[in-house]
Amino acid sequence: MSPANAKLSLGSVHNEHAAIAPTKYGFGTLAIHAGAEPDAATGAVIPPLSLSTTFKQKAVGDFVYEYSRSDNPNRANLEAAIAALENGKHGFAFSSGSATTATVLNTLSPGSHVISVNDVYGGTHRYLNKVAGSIGIETTFVDLANVDNLRDYVRDNTRLVWVETPTNPTLRLVDIAALVEIAHAAGLFVVVDNTFLSPYFQSPLDLGADIVVHSATKYINGHSDVVMGVAATKNDALASKIRFLQNAIGAVPSPFDCYQAQRGIKTLHLRMRQHAINAQRVAEFLEQSPFVESVIYPGLPSHPQHELARRQMRGFGGMVSFRIKGNTHTADRFLQRTRLFTLAESLGGVESLAELPARMTHAGLAPEERNELGITENLIRLSVGVEEAEDLIADLEQALESAVAENDTDFNGNAVVSVN
């Protein structure tokens, strides 16, 4: 089979030619098969890792792949999988979630105005606030818990709305379909960062969003060993702009990272199911614990947007935030005493992690901004992994009890918290 035929029959190289139609199979089948046809040349069931940076041309301009930054077999396979899982037409991979954000924002012309949800990921906030100005983009950060707020901020030059749902770390939701209706009526594109739920639990493109982006570093790769970002869209014009910029800016992932991420994707459905089962159990345990002040999880009826979560999401995800009874010292002790939950930034891997947003992931925000968003000094964020739920709960229980028990003897003998 000639390379040109191989490209078409693989069906995986560009999703436009995908042998596996996105609507024909269920999620788990697509996760395993989209962009994963056996190698046409050797029959290898797993497409090989192709590290070559350049490709032999049969005659000038007659090639399947030209140069690895522009396109390469492993990235093309991964991009086909992403497009299928997000029910998009075009998928893209980048060297990080942040590179994805930067590339997507570069599709705007100088003089454009962006509206972003106010509790957007810190790195996205930093890019919009400190970098995008140099390409002539101005941003307004808006609370979009009520999407009607959007109308008050649209200007003549507003082009795009950037949202995340659920947000980090306070797990607020944005009603994507309602937002899209208002945004599209005003002629704006909508970008949704779907990192926290993965395509298994939420499909922004089906709700009308124009572009979906991810830090694939999190659930999509799922094993805390690749930094990567991905995007998908159904819109051909947007896709050709993004494809041009992917090559022109060149913030692309290595073939090895694409290979790893695609391997991760094959178990995305299995992992997400277990993340959500474990997170629900952890959230319910925390909610009845005498050592916990409050719990934030979209799967709890106590979440202020629980109804929206049920409507918009197919599951509630693996992220749980809670306020420990006490202060930052109590939280510190807790985070040093867990044995299964590792004190670390990031999320979405098979292993459980815990962190203190006020002094770690969100330390860059001004104290007033943190207060406004509810990122208090006793707020702990958990990335609940896929270990056995009973073991995770027992770990949390022992660390909570021991951390909170010391509250009374802290701070020069001043009683700070009473547990009853």
Ligand X SMILES: *Cc1c(COP(=O)(O)O)cnc(C)c1O
Active site residues: 69, 121, 193, 218
Binding segment toward ligand X, per CB under 6 A, in 62-70, 192-200, 250-258, 364-372 = 192-200
- Start-to-end C-alpha separation, the chain: 74
Query: Could you say which residues in the range 224-243 bind ligand X, by CB under 6 A?
Result: 227, 229
CB atoms within 10 A of CB 264: 24
Closest approach, Cβ 348 to ligand X, in A, equals 8
Distances from the Cα of 123 to the Cα of 92, 119, 146, 165, angstroms: 20, 11, 24, 16
Binding segment toward ligand X, per CB under 6 A, in 18-26, 132-140, 193-201, 241-249 = 193-201
- The contact pattern for ligand X, residues 134-173, with x = CB under 6 A and - = no contact, is ------------------------------x---x-----
Q: Which is nearer to ligand X, 81 or 319 (CB)?
A: 319
Nearest in space to 168 (alpha carbons), one of 375, 420, 389: 375
Nearest position to ligand X, beta carbon: 97
Among 103, 215, 305, 383, binds ligand X (CB under 6 A): 215
CB 84 within 8 A of CB 24: no
383 lines the binding site for ligand X (CB under 6 A):
no
121 lines the binding site for ligand X (CB under 6 A):
yes
262 lines the binding site for ligand X (CB under 6 A):
no
Distances from the Cα of 309 to the Cα of 155, 269, 294, 304, 412, angstroms: 30, 19, 19, 10, 44
Place of tokens 């997507």: 104
217 lines the binding site for ligand X (CB under 6 A):
yes
Query: Could you say which residues in the range 74-103 bind ligand X, by CB under 6 A?
Result: 96-98
Residue 99 identity (one-letter amino acid):
A
Dihedral angle over CA of 67, 70, 71, 76, nearest 10: 170
Partner residues linked to 413 by β-bridges: none
Distance CA 123, CA 129 (A): 10
Among 87, 195, 246, 278, binds ligand X (CB under 6 A): 195
Nearest in space to 104 (alpha carbons), one of 255, 230, 197: 230
Among 79, 175, 193, 377, binds ligand X (CB under 6 A): 193
Closest approach, Cβ 221 to ligand X, in A, equals 9
Distance CA 134, CA 131 (A): 6
Q: Which is nearer to ligand X, 10 or 128 (CB)?
A: 128
Q: Which is nearer to ligand X, 72 or 96 (CB)?
A: 96
User: What is the contact surface with ligand X in residues (CB under 6 A)?
Assistant: 96-98, 121, 123-124, 164, 168, 193, 195-196, 215, 217-218, 227, 229
